[in-house]
Chains A and B, each alone.
Chain A
């Protein structure tokens, strides 16, 4: 730690230390974390889909296990991650070209509220259809 202090060597994980930080920094950390999570999910999902190549019985029996609450909870988590990342992404795309920068906090709060609403709607639809 002493050498790091003297050299000013970089701390690439500092974005995770949110003590004393404001909303924008939280949004940034969450965006990165959900991004990493979603990339991991992408490959898990593609891996699971490979079962389709083994024919109907393999796939359909997998479907039976996927009804377990554990998987539903996982799906809900993924959906939350998708909602946060995509809606915050809209905010980043806008502010990132100089639009609405002054309102970035308002944008963040409204988009998060929208995310919660969409999540609840999805949950409702799922309980009807699922």
Chain B
């Protein structure tokens, strides 16, 4: 009866990445929220303030890093929920690829937006 239950796949890594991105999000998210909503009077940066904020190369790197980490965490979570909601095992690789693709597109869009604004 052992053969009925999978021994081969490595789910550990997915969980560990989920946990690692989560941990990284704690400082990154805090920084993002504070810098964008609790520094400027009015709580929201107008266009000029956004452009000057993103003009700083360190900020650019941090915000892109934040986007990569939050998107990874989100995609891993979505994938986990989809698997739990009844995606059959044979379709799981396809779902993983789809979710990865969505993540890549999301990050690409964010990088494009960052470049466009700080031009």
Contact = CB atoms under 8 A, between A and B. Distances in A.
B91 interface: no
B117 interface: yes
- A interface, over-half SS: helix
Interface in B98-119: 106, 109-110, 113, 116-117
Interface in A94-119: 96-97
* Secondary structure class of chain B's binding surface, majority of residues: helix
Given A39-B74, A46-B106, A46-B109, A52 B47 contact: yes
Contacts of B38: 122, 125-126, 129
A76 B77 CA distance: 23
Contacts of A60: 46-47
Contacts of A97: 19
A128 to B, nearest CB: 10
Interface residues of B, number: 34
B22 A93 contact: yes
A127 B113 CA distance: 30
A42 B41 contact: no
A36 to B, nearest CB: 7
B43 A129 contact: yes
Given A59-B47, A82-B29, A125-B38, A53 B116 contact: yes
5 contacts: A46-B110, A56-B48, A126-B38, A129-B41, A130-B42
